[in-house]
Amino acid sequence: MAVIAPCVTADSPETYKASVERIQPFAQRVHIDVSDGEFTPNTLMSASELWWPAEWQAAMVMHPEQHVQALVALKPHMIIFHAETKVNMVQVINYVKQFGIKAGVALLKTTVPASIKDILEVADHAMVFSGNLGQYGGTASLMQLEKVRLIKAINANIEIGWDGGVSLENAFALAQNGVDVLNVGKAIQQAADPASAYATLVNEINKHGVL
């Protein structure tokens, strides 16, 4: 069953705190963006500034080699790294998993699953990016759904995430096409009533019907 994961994308402790408090009453699984500015046009919160409610299943995405130890020390549910980094991602993923933390890999639009086959074989999660990195908003490119089939052909047991442009108009289609975790930023964080927006999306992906 697919789940909705509200996103926290913040560039200061103040905006981070506000984002956390906005979704804390209803959020269970949450995606936190962490960036040193290499893959995003801006620098987001660092590992040393992160915190979250104890009941959250927190996942975070990051450039790995200089930060992995700090992220592991936070004991999140999962850490997701960019596939496009120049480090040995298989080694990084195996390092994270030895601490009982799940490890995933994020694929930018131009990354072909076959080109990172060795990483996908050991990863717990594969996130398909289809939006604007480091900021809320963007349009979901449903052409990226083909990656779901290609990733599953490499690792049938891997969890699939989607980041970018999730909305009420496409959430059901994403869930029906194999996406397990729908990361949602703008549609929840910038909604007039975030709790209502979250509940509506949850109902949408769980409805019965055909495409």
For the record, the structure tokens of 130 come out as: 């289809």
Residue 99: CB partners within 8 Å, gap ≥ 6?
72, 75
Tell me whether residue 7 is in a domain.
Answer: yes
Interval 30-89: pLDDT, tens: 999 886 545 444 456 778 889 999 999 999 887 666 788 889 999 999 999 989 888 899
Residue 1 and residue 205: Cα distance in Å, rounded?
9
**DSSP string over 127-163:** EEE-S-TTSS-----GGGGHHHHHHHHH-TT-EEEEE
Q: The CATH number of the domain where 197 resides is what?
A: 3.20.20.70
Contact 201, 175 (CB under 8 A): no
Q: What is the arithmetic mean of pLDDT over 12-41?
A: 84
For the record, the structure tokens of 172 come out as: 């059901």
Range with the poorest average pLDDT among 87-91, 111-115, 187-191, 206-210: 206-210
Contact 76, 102 (CB under 8 A): no
For the record, the structure tokens of 206 come out as: 């769980």
Structural domain span for residue 94:
3-205
Q: For all residues of the chain together, what is the average pLDDT?
A: 89
Q: Coil, helix or strand for 160?
A: strand
Tell me whether residue 161 is in a domain.
Answer: yes
Interval 122-143: pLDDT, tens: 999 999 988 655 455 567 788 8
Confidence label for 181 from pLDDT (cuts 50, 70 and 90) = very high
Tell me whether residue 72 is in a domain.
Answer: yes
pLDDT more than 70, % of the chain = 88
Contact 156, 180 (CB under 8 A): no
Contact 7, 197 (CB under 8 A): no
- Of residues 151, 146, 149, the one with CA closest to residue 116: 151
The model's pTM: 0.90
DSSP 54: T
Tell me whether residue 211 is in a domain.
Answer: no
Residue 203 and residue 157: Cα distance in Å, rounded?
25
Residue 24 and residue 12: Cα distance in Å, rounded?
18
Q: What is the arithmetic mean of pLDDT over 110-125?
A: 97
Tell me whether residue 27 is in a domain.
Answer: yes
Tell me whether residue 210 is in a domain.
Answer: no
What pLDDT is stored for residue 42 in this prediction? 46
Tell me whether residue 65 is in a domain.
Answer: yes
Domain total for the chain?
A: 1
